[in-house]
Amino acid sequence: MSGTLVLVRHGQSDWNLKNLFTGWKDPELTELGIQEANTGGKALADYGIEFDVAFTSDLKRAQDTLTIILDNVGQPDLETLKDQALNERDYGDLSGLNKDDARAKWGEEQVHIWRRSYDVPPPGGESLRDTGARVWPYYLTEILPRVLRGEKVLVAAHGNSLRSLVMVLDRLTKEQILALNLATGVPMVYKLNPDSTVASKEVLGDMSGAH
């Protein structure tokens, strides 16, 4: 039997709270974000999983979420690999802007297209397809081989980098993935078959808090 892959989106960040486009900017977790990470960590502790390795992005909010989770599961010294391949989608010129201000500048419809189309990037940034183009090779070369060896692997990353993975794992269409929001701090536990397809998926918590 192959191993287990657990995906967790980081807890709420300061810029999520302020309704700002974040992308590759590096704000801290809010008090709620810390609480969400602790809740996710406790859910994994209750689930009774012991990890062999963790992966996270180059950004502090994902790394801090991972640290909190590992403390909760009693594995603070777990081998952790950090790579910008797992970073959030780069919002380019939108990064740091309030979403309402962006709508005032470019128009509601244009900003909606940038946020919710699959392959139209914002100026200077990445589309969801672009994000997948760096996430998928990293998954195939670094993460998946360890799962297929039977290891239990934890990935703490971001809404869009994880949506890229969920799209492949759950075999979602472009339309389906655009409609999917991942809740912050809620672990998704995938058991994989030897051929890398999904044997089972379990969500440890409430996905209704997705935004």
d(CA 53, CA 60) in angstroms, rounded, equals: 18
**Binding residue ranges for substrate:** 9-16, 22-23, 61, 88-91, 99, 115-116, 159-160
Structural domain spans, the chain = 15-192+199-209
pTM: 0.94
Per-residue pLDDT tens digits for 96-141: 999 999 999 999 999 999 988 899 999 999 999 999 999 999 999 9
Burial of 13 (0-12, 13-18, 19+ CB in 10 A): buried
> Among the options 28, 36, 88, 202, which is catalytic?
88
108 is catalytic: no
CB 166 within 8 A of CB 180: yes
d(CA 34, CA 39): 9
Assign domain 15-192+199-209 one CATH number from 3.30.43.10, 3.40.50.1240, 3.40.50.1370, 3.40.50.1000.
3.40.50.1240
What's the pLDDT band for 17 if we cut at 50, 70, 90? confident
Please pick, among 10, 36, 126, 158, the residue that the annotation labels catalytic: 10
Catalytic site includes residue 202 = no
Residue ranges of the binding site: 9-16, 22-23, 61, 88-91, 99, 115-116, 159-160
Per-residue confidence (pLDDT) for residue 207, from 0 to 100: 63
Supply the DSSP symbol for 120.
-
> Cα torsion at 35, 41, 46, 51 (round to 10°)?
180
